[in-house]
Amino acid sequence: MTIEARHLHFHYDNETVLNDLSLSIIPGEITALVGPNGSGKSTLLKALSRILRPQSGEVLLEGKPIQSWSARAVARRLALLPQSPEAPMGLSVRDLAGYGRHPWRRAFQGSGPEDRAAVDRALGLTGMTSFADRMLGSLSGGQRQRAWIAMALSQETDVLMLDEPTSFLDMAHQVELMQLVERLNVEEGRTIVIVLHDLNQAARIAHRMVVLNQGSIAADGKPAEVMTAQMLRRVFGVESDLISDPRRGTPLCLPYAAYFSGPDLEP
Amino acid sequence: MTKTMKTASPILIVGLVFLALATLSLGTGSMNIDPPALFSALLGTSDPGTSLIVWSIRLPRLVLAALAGASLALAGAVLQGITRNGLADPGILGLTAGAGLAVTGLIWLQSHGIAVEPHWRPAAAFAGAAFAALVTAVAAQRDGAIAPVRLLLAGIGMNALIGAATLVIAMGLDQQLYSAAVVWLSGSLSGAGWSASTTLAPWLAILALALAAQTRRLDLLSLDDETAAGRGLAVDRCRLRVAAIAVGLAGAGVAFSGGIGFVGLVAPHMARLMVGPKHAVALPLAALCGAAVTVAADLIGRTVFAPLELPAGIVASALGAPWFIWLMWNGKDKKG
Ligand SMILES: Nc1ncnc2c1ncn2[C@@H]1O[C@H](COP(=O)(O)OP(=O)(O)OP(=O)(O)O)[C@@H](O)[C@H]1O
Ligand SMILES: [Mg+2]
Least CB-CB distance to A88: which of B212, B222, B227? B222
Ligand 1, atom 12, residue with closest C-alpha: A17
Check pocket membership of A163 for ligand 1, CB cut-off 6 A.
no
Per-residue pLDDT band at A261 (split at 50, 70, 90): low
Check pocket membership of A38 for ligand 1, CB cut-off 6 A.
yes
Long-range contacts of A86-89 (CB under 8 A, 24+ apart): A86/B84, A86/B223, A86/B224, A86/B227, A86/B335, A86/B336, A87/A136, A87/B222, A87/B223, A87/B227, A87/B335, A87/B336, A88/A136, A88/B222, A88/B277, A88/B333, A88/B335, A89/A135, A89/A136, A89/A137, A89/B333, A89/B334, A89/B335, A89/B336
Question: Which distant-in-sequence residues (6+ apart) come within 8 Å of A183 by Cβ?
Answer: none
Gap from B104 CA to chain A (nearest CA, Å)? 39
Residues of A in contact with B232 (CB under 8 A): 70-76, 102-103
Q: pLDDT at residue A151 above 90? A: yes
Ligand 1, atom 24, residue with closest C-alpha: A37
Check pocket membership of A130 for ligand 1, CB cut-off 6 A.
no
Sheet (strand A208-213) strand order: A78-81, A159-163, A191-195, A30-34, A208-213, A216-221
- ipTM here: 0.91
Q: How many CB atoms lie within 10 A of CB B51?
A: 16
Reported as a single tens digit per residue, the pLDDT across A9-23 is 999 988 899 999 999
Q: What is the pLDDT of residue B319?
A: 86
Check pocket membership of A40 for ligand 1, CB cut-off 6 A.
yes
Q: What is the pLDDT of residue B118?
A: 67
φ and ψ at residue A194, rounded to 5 degrees: -135, 130
- pTM metric for this prediction: 0.89
From the centroid of its chain, how far is CA B112? 31
Q: How many CB atoms lie within 10 A of CB A63?
A: 7
Residues of A in contact with B212 (CB under 8 A): 108
Question: Which distant-in-sequence residues (6+ apart) come within 8 Å of B45 by Cβ?
Answer: none
Tell if the CB–CB gap between B336 and A136 is shorter than 8 Å: yes
Residue A230: exposure state from Cβ atoms within 10 A (0-12, 13-18, ≥19)? exposed
Gap from B273 CA to chain A (nearest CA, Å)? 8
Tell if the CB–CB gap between A102 and B231 is shorter than 8 Å: yes
Chain A residue closest in CA terms to B220: A99
Check pocket membership of A35 for ligand 1, CB cut-off 6 A.
yes
**Number of Cβ pairs < 8 A linking chain A and chain B:** 90
Please tell me the number of the ligand nearest to residue A83's CA: 2
Helix or strand or coil: residue A33? strand
Q: What is the pLDDT of residue B216?
A: 93
Tell if the CB–CB gap between B231 and A88 is shorter than 8 Å: no
Measured CA to CA, the distance from residue B152 to residue B94 in angstroms comes to: 9
Long-range contacts of B210-214 (CB under 8 A, 24+ apart): B210/B245, B211/B74, B211/B78, B211/B242, B211/B245, B211/B249, B211/B283, B212/A108, B212/B283, B213/A107, B213/A108, B214/A107, B214/B238, B214/B241, B214/B242, B214/B245, B214/B279
| Residue B168: HSE in the Cβ half-sphere, 13 Å Cα cutoff | 6
Q: pLDDT at residue A144 above 70? A: yes
Gap from A128 CA to chain B (nearest CA, Å)? 17
Q: pLDDT truncated to tens, each residue of chain B (336 aa)?
A: 445 456 678 899 999 999 999 999 988 887 888 888 888 888 878 788 888 888 888 899 999 999 999 999 999 999 999 888 888 888 888 898 998 899 888 888 888 888 777 667 778 888 898 899 889 888 888 776 677 778 778 888 998 999 899 989 988 888 888 887 888 788 888 877 888 888 889 889 999 999 999 999 999 999 999 999 999 999 989 988 998 899 889 988 888 888 888 899 999 999 998 999 999 999 999 999 999 999 999 999 988 887 788 888 889 988 888 877 877 777 544 443
Residue B154: exposure state from Cβ atoms within 10 A (0-12, 13-18, ≥19)? buried
CB A52 within 8 A of CB A78: no
Residues of B in contact with A87 (CB under 8 A): 222-223, 227, 335-336
Residue A72: exposure state from Cβ atoms within 10 A (0-12, 13-18, ≥19)? middle
CB A235 within 8 A of CB A261: no
Q: What is the pLDDT of residue B335?
A: 42
Q: How many CB atoms lie within 10 A of CB A108?
A: 9
CB B295 within 8 A of CB B18: yes
CB A227 within 8 A of CB A251: yes
Mutate to test the interface with A, among B226, B233, B330 (most CBs of A within 10 A): B226
Beta-bridge partner residues of A5 = A23, A59
Check pocket membership of A21 for ligand 1, CB cut-off 6 A.
no
Measured CA to CA, the distance from residue B255 to residue B122 in angstroms comes to: 4
Sheet (strand A3-12) strand order: A15-25, A3-12, A56-61, A64-65
Which CATH architecture is the domain B63-329 placed in?
Answer: Orthogonal Bundle (1.10)
Averaged over A167-195, what is the pLDDT?
A: 92
Least confident of A65-79, A96-110, B266-280: A96-110
Q: What is the pLDDT of residue A127?
A: 92
Q: How far is the CA of B111 from the centre of ligand 1 (A)?
A: 58
Where exactly are the structural domains of chain B? 63-329
Q: What is the pLDDT of residue A178?
A: 92
Helix or strand or coil: residue A217? strand
Q: Is the peptide bond before A54 cis (omega within 30 degrees of 0)?
A: no
Measured CA to CA, the distance from residue B90 to residue B264 in angstroms comes to: 6
From the centroid of its chain, how far is CA B280? 19
- The domains of chain A, with CATH numbers, are 1-77+157-232 (3.40.50.300), 86-156 (no CATH)
